[in-house]
Chains A and B, each alone.
Chain A
């Protein structure tokens, strides 16, 4: 048994202070194995995004144990958190590309963080990645010259180009129509599988649940897990999606 990419043990999380303090996550416990594609569903306000920001080291873990890529994030120093972020690929709901940069430059931004990659290599890797997401014709376009689906594909290229062990995606299809949403998710899944990256994907979109190996459902800050290989997705998870 290999070590899991993510090991979450009894994580609690609170927002606010004093009387306004509100618990968001309740004893969340789960693991994600290398190369696994996990979809997280659940109604708005159930704590999905909060959990994702904890995994991605964008927030500090308050209680419980959060191990990502073998590193304990609770009480980790800011420098360690920044270091971890470099080894995680992010895909955001709003694509969040840098508008002043071309598609290729946007992808290269994620490689500049890795000192051992020369600018020439970075350029080649970025070009290869954009080809893989089917944007070879659009490499030197600026984000405002691209459609929503194309922008999201640039975001996927940016997240995956440095071969991260873990990719986190927050509703990557929310702003897309059915066809391009489906394309984007499939590209993401296939590339992640090729490279052995684990994916945690938060979505409301029940049309894409079948790309996952496993489904976790979050409700009121508590987690339930379903293995899609052994049982079909439960009605609740799909209906609420």
Chain B
């Protein structure tokens, strides 16, 4: 589905473009975005509005715009959020490439939240995958119309005119006559849009920007302190708020004494925020807000609040006891999510078996910019400025909480100071809106780091149980994997305890091993904290269990870990979707374009190994290498980690080699940067990441007790190897994370003989 319209005289982008500009609008709704979401959100969307189907299938809603000013400035609207993955640069570069625009004359304007753009929820590593072809068609349309405008002006056939090799100019080839894009804007604005079938997309060999390294658009602003994040949003006359949330999910204020808080200079008032109505979804947690003249006064006032809480049922949650329950759950038969052959019959034959349990705790996002938002309520309308991954969810949530139509909520998207999934949930924006309505002034809500860590939508806690029967050659004849984790669906639906097809499809119902008998199961687990997406989501605990267990089997078989992993992956083949889990959704990607291709997984494993010096590098005592390979977000990544144990028995991560096959690459430098960052993110969660709870309240609160790698603790050298590929573009932001922790733990085993089955490494004294 793909419609483009000439909007030059329709007043779109008023204030951004001048009246003489040439403006194209288009509706690009990737089919994947119209299907049900993959990660348990369908329920939520049903409760919140219509985010699952934001665009009518027949009505025309322009969702991407490119404008051309008479002075030659090209304005491209970025409709997805920039949280550090580079999509605000990559998508416009695809348009500019096909348009033959000069990148130095491109200006990027960030879209507000609006259903007319289609899905804007910047998650799931699919901005480039879902919009690559659309952006190309879009740029080609603009180029074609500019060529036609020039041809008409010169009264020559359009076939004699072209828009390359010099960018931003149309040339009449026989005469060498040229016209700049800016000069052609007015004429192009009067032309009809050519049908898609008539467009000629550029061949790969003529790509100007796609596949070439580029700096991100906001680079200089970031390095000079000018870039605008949510934390920097400002409205004249705004007040500042800091919110004391119930320490336990679902808690309520039993009594409040704010007399001391009100004595703090600069504090104006306190405002109660109502508790949410279950399920909590994206609603504010409730609590008491301190409203002040500046952030500091609001923080100080909050410390003086005296609140007695009615903690409610979740006060029974203790993470240590809960872990035991989860581990018991996976020791019993659970719901079958995927089955091949008959593992029970194979186990009953009495061959040698191996069992192991794995555990990954709750994790927090801890983006450097804590949740923050500015909102202004006036006459039934709300204007918000927020670092959000999903401005339409802001519209829906704010509309729901304030009882105004979502169309009356305007959400400006700032740059995001990191997000990692946290900022897909707009509870903090709704807080600002509630407080603005109650105070009659624009309000900025600033979460402290403690608020961020204690009131996150956590990456879920997970236990896994693995069992395999080994044949005569040491390869498994049967493989059973069971997991249990409070699902993301619990955030949107009461009593939701099983993993969704989307969550299980992240490394549990698509294990690409050539094993004749294989069964994946999933057990129930109730949530006692808010659960949400975190960079690479369920792949983290699934890949940890699968890739660790694979290495355990290799050891049992007395084989090299790489060789054994390659044997498990087996012969090169494209796996028939029928042979994957019944609910396997492939991250919404069309399976025919993005099948599970074991040759690609094998190739990244071999490439990472080769580049790391696997099997050739001389390792001293206390040194070791480990590998893991995992497909997620329809991208293939293998990571080799080299470690050395120091004199205190702590692990030091030396060199990392990550090989990635993500199909066609738009910006190789962005891919390298994301893969480097994923290694650090993986190292952080493996070494230090752990959220625990006592009587329902979270024990951690800042970087002092929720640690993450600093420069001296991060991998020292990260080498990224990109597989050259003409396959369709796949995900980049997340897939580097899942293989890291198992590769690290496999390396620790190689170095020490000690098998790590629980994260983080601080639990076993290794970090």
Q: Do A and B come from one complex?
A: no
Query: A residues engaging B (CB < 8 A)?
Result: none
